[in-house]
Chain A
Amino acid sequence: MAESSQASAKKNAQTREMRDAFGDTLVELGNLYEDMVFLDADLHTSTKATTFKKAFPDRFYQVGIAEQNLFGLAAGFATEGFIAIPSTFAAFASRRALDQLAISICFPALNVKIPGSYVGVPTSRAGASHNCIEDIAVMRALPNLKVADPGTGAELAAVMRRSLETPGPVYYRVTRYGVPELFDDGYEFEWGKGVTLRTGSDVTLVGTGVMTHRCLSAAEALATQGVQAEVLHMPSIKPMDSELLRRSAQKTRCVVTAENATINGGFGAAVAETLSESCPVPVYRIGVRDQFVESGGVEDLFEAHQMQPRHIVQAAKHVMEMREEMSSWLVHT
């Protein structure tokens, strides 16, 4: 009995939802930054910002179900020198309040840090309206806005800390999902810096957010088949670590990307854009393929959208074949 609950506790620690790290880190930062104000659009128990509400009730503004006003208020607070955190689901941050975000906040580069909660496939069973797949594509199109998709709880905390130290607007994703921790507590996130989690020379797997963990699983499976995959983790989507990407692509000459979002204009697209300008190699993007993510269980949805580790394995083999095919083009030309 004791052993079983111990095992369960360990499992919980490993797979603690990232939104719990969000709630804890908010309080940590609230203690450090007295000029940080939190604005909530009636979702604090879902986003786990209740921690901040309890710790700093005077700095917690409930704005009701009004996301456009949420972002306008954030702009006003930031204009007056506060660090404003407008909090809602990513779907509403990137869709309902996009104009406010773009012109009231990003254009004047105001000090607003935006957590987008409930991102991608693993959210709840709420369906297409709430499973936000377009935020990476939308947010990375906005000038002055930095964009991050942290892969674990510790990294989310590191992104949040760095965001508070970073002038100007920042958008980061908060996933309602737990993955085994990859980083220790001293881990520091840097804008424009990726992390090499595994070295290899046959194929590069580049993940962002929680998909990096699936890239690692895929790399293990590939290793059993004699394929040595290099695994890069890119929590900083904008700016992107183009140098790390280029170096790896020069070595492996084929790349698979993986993101918990639509591939249209998203992270994989950003990687492909970067590589096409510096080191053109075949790139295959794992992610949601021009579909809404409807209601369903988490693993069922990862399966339905072909975002399991085995799909990354298949994609790796596909780009390796493309690389060979492209070599033959070069021979004939």
Chain B
Amino acid sequence: MKLTEDMCRELRDRAFEIRVLSLEMITYSTWGHIGGSFSMAELLAVLYFHAMDIDPNQPKWENRDRLILSKAHGSPGLYAALASRGFIDRDRIYDYCEPGGLEGHTHTESAPGIEASGGPLGMGLSVSLGMALALRRKENPRSRVFCIMGDGELNEGNNWEAAMAASHYRADNLIGIVDYNKVVAKSFLWEAMSVEPLADKWRAFGWKVIEVDGHDLQEIATAVHRARWIEPNGTPTVIIAHTVKGKGVEQAEFNYKWHTHAPDPATADAMLRELCRNYDKPERGYSRLAESSTKESFYGGE
């Protein structure tokens, strides 16, 4: 499944946009998770703009593919992808963490295209499996359920209950994706609680495993294609995507201090300009810099 040059360019632009919108919303709301939103930007770009069968005009279309963000604190990334894909109005990103706006962690009532509410870690794979089994009951053979998990949340036992059940129920319409960015909230993952040997763990639970560079659009697209069309024969598949937390902005990369950390407007402005340079885009800073002084300050809160 070779991506065309045009598609590569398109997906690269979408990954850029997902990062820009994430940073805008986190900065304006003064709260959110940059590291985990940036690490999965390419994953979201491939899924929402290439691999998933979805229709922004019919968010509840029965034959759509479903995506659950188990690492629900990556909500800025997901909301950004939904805004970029046309599920929600772009201006709504400035309602992030406001009453009646986009909920801090993903919530079904916040926006069309959000398939599950989350926040507590380690719960999304169970919900995804429930949906996958429900699709079987509805005799819907085409739709797939994608579940993006964080690597740190694989410390949670609930994931492995779900992993066990998914292979028991032969749920090959369920595709797990691990955003393996190696960094958790307060340290590196290997220091907090190592999940290695990760691929062996999934295999031992009866899953097929595909490992990719989670920032390589072609590798991701090939893996998702394989997981969707080639591997399903009675076992679920997991894509372990090796990523860099905070990918795209140097000071946030591979840095747990930027797990939950909203930049102040000046820092955000510099970060956005850096992003533009990295993507060969016309330099553009933080769009709401002028009004930031009136915003209640909670920058950098962990």
- Which positions in A face B, CB cutoff 8 Å? 37, 61, 63-64, 66, 68-69, 71-82, 84, 99-100, 103-104, 107-108
Contact = CB atoms under 8 A, between A and B. Distances in A.
Interface centre among B109, B124, B126, B128 (most CB of A within 10 A): B126
A108 B116 contact: yes
21 contacts: A64-B161, A68-B158, A71-B126, A72-B158, A72-B162, A73-B127, A75-B116, A75-B127, A75-B130, A76-B127, A76-B133, A80-B130, A80-B134, A80-B135, A81-B134, A99-B123, A100-B120, A103-B119, A104-B116, A107-B107, A108-B116
Which secondary structure dominates chain A's binding surface?
A: helix
B278 interface: no
A79 B120 contact: no
Contacts of A80: 130-131, 134-135, 137-138
Interface in B207-259: none
Given A64-B164, A69-B161, A73-B165, A79 B109 contact: no
Contact of A79 (B134, B157, B162, B168): B134
Nearest to A73: B130
Nearest to B134: A80
B272 interface: no
A72 B127 contact: yes
A72 B130 contact: yes
Please list the 7 inter-chain residue pairs (A to B) with the smallest Cβ-Cβ separation, ordered nearest first: A76-B130, A72-B126, A80-B134, A69-B161, A73-B130, A66-B161, A76-B131
A108 B158 contact: no
A69 B126 contact: yes
Contacts of B21: none
Contacts of A77: 130-131, 133-134
B158 A69 contact: yes
Interface of B: 107-109, 115-120, 123-135, 137-138, 157-158, 161-162, 164-165, 168
B127 A104 contact: yes
A63 B126 CA distance: 11
B86 to A, nearest CB: 22
A79 B127 CA distance: 9
A103 B126 CA distance: 13
B121 to A, nearest CB: 9
B134 A100 contact: no
A78 B132 CA distance: 12
B123 A100 contact: yes
Given A68-B157, A72-B127, A82 B134 contact: yes
Contact of B129 (A71, A72, A103, A107): A72
B247 to A, nearest CB: 28
B117 A74 contact: no
Interface centre among B107, B128, B131, B134 (most CB of A within 10 A): B134
Nearest to B118: A103
B120 A99 contact: yes
Contacts of B168: 64
Contacts of A78: 130
Contacts of B161: 64, 66, 68-69
Given A68-B158, A73-B133, A108 B126 contact: no
B129 A73 contact: yes
Contacts of B123: 68, 72, 99-100, 103-104
Given A66-B164, A68-B161, A75-B127, A103 B120 contact: yes
B120 A108 contact: no
Contact of A69 (B119, B134, B137, B165): B165
Interface centre among B107, B118, B130 (most CB of A within 10 A): B130
B140 to A, nearest CB: 9
A108 B162 contact: no
Contacts of A84: 130
A108 B161 CA distance: 22
A37 B135 CA distance: 13
A76 B134 contact: yes
Contacts of A64: 161, 164-165, 168
A107 B117 contact: yes
Contact of B118 (A61, A76, A104): A104
